[in-house]
Amino acid sequence: MFNRVVVPAIIVQLAKQNYFQLFDLSESYGLNLDKLTAEYHRLQLEYHPDKQSGASEEDRVAAQLAASYINDAYETLKSPLKRAAYVLTIKGKDAESVDQSDLSMEVLVEQMELRESLDELPRDETALPKLEDLKSVVQGKIKNKQIKFEDWVAIDDLDSAKKTFHELQFLFKLLSEIEEGEEVRLGY
């Protein structure tokens, strides 16, 4: 009655490893992006579906699944925000659920002030110097929060790490909006 799904051994082997293990990296937020990229390229060459052109259908499907898993792992670890969420997840903390206690009043006020700074800028190229200044401020805050996040994880204070993760989410979103504002004002 039911079709039994056979999961190829290579997929089982890859899926037993978390993303850090897959790329032979230590399980920490701060990582060597050059090593990540080098390992990604090595794994892509090893498991690329094109290498399976003469293989059985099962082996071609396995190669596609393996390549997909490797791509997902790479995209997750390459992105600072996705990596932070993943670190929390493998440490057993639900990164996506937000509790009011996750953001202090001080953080909320700071977020509102930064957002107002962006919203108050003129919508033409005269705002570019101020946008660049705001961008530098936000990038500095991101760097500081990333260091804090890594420190919290290192001492296994996952509640504080999660709070810092939510602060990073806001800052990365604001940075993206600043960069979009620059592009609009430059006519891109």
Query: Other C-beta atoms within 10 Å of 125: how many?
Result: 13
Domain count, the chain: 2
Q: Does a structural domain hold residue 156?
A: yes
Structural domain for 30, as ranges? 9-78
Q: Does a structural domain hold residue 92?
A: no
Is there a contact between 162 and 93 (Cβ–Cβ < 8 Å)? yes
Provide the residue type at 184 as one letter. Answer: V
Residues of the chain with pLDDT under 70: 1-8, 10-12, 52-55, 100, 102
Is 112 in the same domain as 181? yes
Q: Which residues contact 157 (CB under 8 A, 6 or more apart)?
A: none
Structure pTM? 0.86
Domain boundary at 78, 113, 139, which? 78
Confidence (pLDDT) at 136? 98
